[in-house]
Amino acid sequence: MNVGDRHYRTIWLSDDGRSVEIIDQRWLPHDFRVEKVSTVAGIATAIRDMWVRGAPLIGVTAAYGVAIQMADDPSDAALDGVWEVLHETRPTAINLRWALDEMRNFLRPLPSGQRAEAAYRRAGEIADEDVSLNRAIGANGLEIIKEIVARKQPGEPVNILTHCNAGWLATVDYGTATAPIYLAVEAGIPVHVYVDETRPRNQGAQLTAWEMAGHGVPHTLIVDNAGGHLMQRGQIDMVIVGTDRTTADGDVCNKIGTYLKALAAADNDVPFYVALPSPTIDWTVGDGLAEIPIEQRSSDEVSLVWGKTASGEIAQVRISPETTPAANPAFDVTPARLVTGLITERGVAKASREGLKAMFPGR
Amino acid sequence: MNVGDRHYRTIWLSDDGRSVEIIDQRWLPHDFRVEKVSTVAGIATAIRDMWVRGAPLIGVTAAYGVAIQMADDPSDAALDGVWEVLHETRPTAINLRWALDEMRNFLRPLPSGQRAEAAYRRAGEIADEDVSLNRAIGANGLEIIKEIVARKQPGEPVNILTHCNAGWLATVDYGTATAPIYLAVEAGIPVHVYVDETRPRNQGAQLTAWEMAGHGVPHTLIVDNAGGHLMQRGQIDMVIVGTDRTTADGDVCNKIGTYLKALAAADNDVPFYVALPSPTIDWTVGDGLAEIPIEQRSSDEVSLVWGKTASGEIAQVRISPETTPAANPAFDVTPARLVTGLITERGVAKASREGLKAMFPGR
């Protein structure tokens, strides 16, 4: 999407045809830095140290890492080696593993002399496929936004609440939860986005707000505590969030706090949608609450807040007593009963086993 | 309550019998500062600039301000003057006005030569009455905690979630929502408190956590997003919050985000209690959602986070883009249907007009 006047993806091939350029997201929203990465070690660092984040983007970055390796050394040993090196950077990231497997399986049968070119081509395809997937999600979500517009006064904006960052920064472009928003903007529909700051890591305040500001989407930052109140007052027309994992029964695992917004939406008859590419559906799990283990992250993410001081320095401040321990569950599970619909690339499915089976009959 | 080895109130008369000493809460949890205040101007600053905060404490501080004025000049003009000066510091604070009216009405009939001594005595009584009120709330809340203990394994702690700071720092001692917790500790009952950080001003992280640490109460800081997840997992036995204003129908106006916790409690059959001194019941209002105006505070409270840097400096950091606007509603209304009970100094009332009338038959 746009950063001011210019369109960007989160990752693209350099003019040299060999390196990739990425947005180093660690400095957002305070500093917009593009970095050229030319080595496998550089790709590993970018994934491990979260210069790039978001499942789809991690996968694409890893695919380009394999391509860089093939340009250096297209041997079988190098192909296995780069798989190992990159897989270790974020071992629990499913998209990372998928992309590495995809690249290795695609390249293995090829003669080594053809591997480099084929690898760059396939990595580029994976990037483009992500964009297409997100545009398809966006188009399906746009239909919902249009239905809301039809019930409004002319020119009145559709107020959309989102939590965390399921935006273009988490993908190659468009994002998942944000795709319907960007397509609405493209279609000239007035939207206004309430952005949950999304403690503890503030991805809403740092990333989603930055995306909206860069692309010129009217938006307002709120604390995570405020969404329920806004819904009570009729100030939210719909909620759209992303998901890390959706179960075959339609339960949604997403950033901590999503469940509270879903409760408030249900209590106030506000439609609550989850946008997801179908590969994030985990068909092996039914009951999300019982079966999905929740990652416990560092207490420092709760106790320390990162930002920019008045003098322009990047700093962390402690908000609590040194002796106070903190717990930091990273995700929660929103039961399917609270989800109005699952916006996939194929259409909007009911959040239930029947709904998902009807949309994805092969599964 | 205790700060380490020593018991404190939030305000007390100095040894000179004329000044008061207060905890300057602006520096908590990073610095524990006690300030001696000897002038009306000093009292006005302490209230206006939030050295002291919390409705009951503001009232008591103002009462001592009147006493300081009477020691200086016990004339009728001075009595009216101090009322005006102190009322202007926080014009919407109901307890402030109540305490100023109470002091003026009490002092007016007295000969000016008796006013100073009477004023200090009455201010001290108001302080003691607050402590008694809170202890009574605590005793009634303790009965609920004891019922939960009775259903637990021996030695297993009662897990209590609280939001914001309705602690002893907001009162003279004990607090409202925290009074049952402190009385449970006095009774040797094992408790563990989950402290919501309470964005945007982080009163939970800064004040409630500091209180718990100082008094030695086991506690864990969490982001406001986490409480629903903990309830889903059975990790919360009860919620206790305070309130700024409770309606005659039992609707509860409290710090933004309270409503979300009440929804999660209801969804998970976790009892949700509100602790309140009966003077905060607004008998003139029924439907809190329709009738209570919600204060909109500065967007800087959302965009800037206050704390201590690694090098020990107090600083604010910006967490969002400079161009991103923020909305900051300070309170929300929790409908009575989500409230298990109202813990008052007289007992635990049902959150309904009938429940409140039964407990306060005169109203």
Mean pLDDT of A290-308: 96
Residues of chain B with CATH 3.40.50.10470: 140-359
Rounded distance between C-alpha atoms, residue B14 and residue B112, angstroms: 23
For chain B positions 309-328, those within 8 Å of chain A (CB to CB) are 309-310, 315-321, 323-328
pLDDT at A94: 79
**Beta-bridge partners for A314:** A308
Burial grade of B89 (CB within 10 A; 0-12, 13-18, 19 or more):
buried
Rounded distance between C-alpha atoms, residue A11 and residue A29, angstroms: 17
Rounded distance between C-alpha atoms, residue B100 and residue B92, angstroms: 13
Summarised one tens digit per residue, pLDDT across range B132-168 is 999 999 999 999 999 999 999 999 999 999 999 999 9
Summarised one tens digit per residue, pLDDT across range A21-44 is 999 999 999 999 999 999 999 999
pLDDT at B129: 97
Summarised one tens digit per residue, pLDDT across range A200-259 is 999 999 999 999 999 999 999 999 999 999 999 999 999 999 999 999 999 999 999 999
pLDDT at B159: 98
Q: B316: nearest CA in chain A?
A: A309
Residue of A302, A317, A322, A331 to mutate, interface with B, max B Cβ within 10 Å: A317
Q: B205: nearest CA in chain A?
A: A320
Rounded distance between C-alpha atoms, residue B247 and residue B351, angstroms: 9
pLDDT at A29: 98
The answer to whether A230 faces chain B, any CB pair under 8 Å, is yes
Nearest Cα of chain B lies from the Cα of A262 at a distance, in angstroms, of 10
Contact call for residues A190 and A157 (beta carbons, < 8 A)? yes
Closest to B222 (Cβ–Cβ): which among A195, A213, A326? A326
Rounded distance between C-alpha atoms, residue A205 and residue A226, angstroms: 14
The answer to whether B200 faces chain A, any CB pair under 8 Å, is yes
Nearest to B76 by CA among B111, B50, B29, B34: B111
Given B130, B224, B237, B244, the catalytic residue: B244
pLDDT at A297: 94
Summarised one tens digit per residue, pLDDT across range A319-328 is 999 999 999 9
Whether B92 shows a pLDDT value over 80: the answer reads no
How, if at all, do strands B272-275 and B238-241 pair?
Answer: parallel
Rg (CA), chain A: 21
pLDDT at B362: 85
Whether B93 shows a pLDDT value over 80: the answer reads no
Residues of chain A with CATH 1.20.120.420: 2-129
The answer to whether A289 faces chain B, any CB pair under 8 Å, is yes
The CATH number fitting domain B140-359, selected from 3.40.50.10470, 2.30.30.280, 3.60.20.10, 3.30.70.260? 3.40.50.10470
Interchain CB distance below 8 Å, B328 and A226: yes
Interchain CB distance below 8 Å, B29 and A328: no
Percent above pLDDT 90 for chain B: 97
Contact call for residues A333 and A259 (beta carbons, < 8 A)? yes
Mean pLDDT of A184-198: 98
Beta strand extents in chain B (DSSP E only):
2-3, 6-7, 11-13, 20-24, 33-37, 158-162, 191-196, 219-222, 238-241, 245-247, 252-255, 272-275, 281-282, 304-308, 314-318, 331-334, 341-343, 348-349
Summarised one tens digit per residue, pLDDT across range A111-139 is 999 999 999 999 999 999 999 999 999 99
Whether B40 shows a pLDDT value over 80: the answer reads yes
A244 catalytically annotated: yes
Nearest Cα of chain A lies from the Cα of B93 at a distance, in angstroms, of 22
Domain B2-129: CATH superfamily is: translation initiation factor eif-2b, domain 1 (1.20.120.420)
Interchain CB distance below 8 Å, A257 and B220: no
Nearest to A36 by CA among A27, A23, A25, A26: A23
pLDDT band at B178 (very low <50, low <70, confident <90, very high): very high
Rounded distance between C-alpha atoms, residue B324 and residue B346, angstroms: 47
Helix ranges (H only) for chain A are 40-48, 55-72, 76-87, 94-107, 112-150, 179-186, 203, 209-215, 227-232, 258-267, 288-291, 300-303, 353-359
Given A130, A173, A196, A244, the catalytic residue: A244
pLDDT band at B118 (very low <50, low <70, confident <90, very high): very high
